[in-house]
Structure formats: C-alpha cells, structure tokens
C-alpha cells in the first residue's frame, strides 16, 4: 500500500495530540573524562525531551507476569514528537508520575518509523 506511511503517521500524531498528555523523557548522559585533564571525570548530565504522549494500560491477555507485569503501562509517542528515541533505563514523566522505560518498540510502515510504543514501569 504505497503512500500510506505519511497518512498513518499524521493520524497517530493527531490522535496523540488530541488525547495525549504532556510527557517528559529524561536520559542520563554518563560522565566522561575531562579532555584537558584525563585524571578528572566530568559529572553526568540529564537531557530532557518534552512532547505529547498517550498513556494506557496493558490488556489482561498481554500480561504474562514475566516480561509484562500487571502494573506495567504503555506510552504511545508519535515518532516525530520528541526528536529522540528513548532507551531502556530512561524515565518518562506524565501527570507527575515517573515511569522507567523497560522496552521500546518502533512501529514502521513502508520503511518509515511511525510510532513508538514504550513499555514502562513505576
């Protein structure tokens, strides 16, 4: 189905924009050696990315008690919304609740990333 990716991507972004909430993804960048003084370490820093995301739970049949736990949630993000693809260990804050990213799934159509589905835990 050629040409569907841009339309699907726009639909996902519109739905998340209309029904989602402001979310902040935080990524910790580890400290590194100071280039001017290799025996000194520079501190770690946190990069944040803010946009809209949609938070939902898992259906009962998706919960296996091993990789998906009963209290896990899904966060849906339009691929272009955050200019960053979260990785496991990052955090997502939505409505004051902080979740840790456990798994990231990219939904692709016609070789284009459309949507990110994050498995998160708090």
The answer, yes or no, to whether residue 87 has pLDDT greater than 50, is yes
* pTM across the whole model: 0.81
What CATH number did the domain enclosing 9 receive? 2.40.10.270
Question: Model confidence at 4, in pLDDT bands (50, 70, 90)?
Answer: low
- Interatomic CA distance for residues 24 and 35, integer angstroms: 31
Of residues 97 and 35, more confidence is placed in: 97
The answer, yes or no, to whether residue 25 has pLDDT greater than 80, is yes
- 70: domain range? 4-121
The total of structural domains in the chain comes to: 1
The answer, yes or no, to whether residue 1 has pLDDT greater than 50, is no
Q: Which residues pair with 121 in a beta bridge?
A: 100
The answer, yes or no, to whether residue 24 has pLDDT greater than 80, is yes
The answer, yes or no, to whether residue 83 has pLDDT greater than 60, is yes
């Amino acid at each position: 189905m050629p040409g569907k990716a841009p339309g699907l991507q726009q639909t996902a972004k519109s739905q998340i924009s209309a029904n989602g909430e402001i979310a902040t993804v935080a990524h910790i960048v580890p400290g590194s050696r100071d280039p001017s003084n290799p025996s000194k370490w520079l501190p770690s820093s946190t990069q944040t990315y803010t946009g809209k995301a949609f938070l939902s739970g898992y259906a009962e049949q998706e919960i296996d008690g091993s990789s998906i736990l009963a209290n896990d949630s899904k966060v849906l993000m339009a691929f272009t919304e955050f200019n960053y693809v979260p990785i496991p260990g990052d955090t997502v804050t939505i409505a004051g609740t902080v979740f840790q990213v456990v798994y990231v799934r990219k939904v692709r159509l016609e070789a284009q990333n459309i949507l990110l589905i994050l498995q998160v835990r708090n």
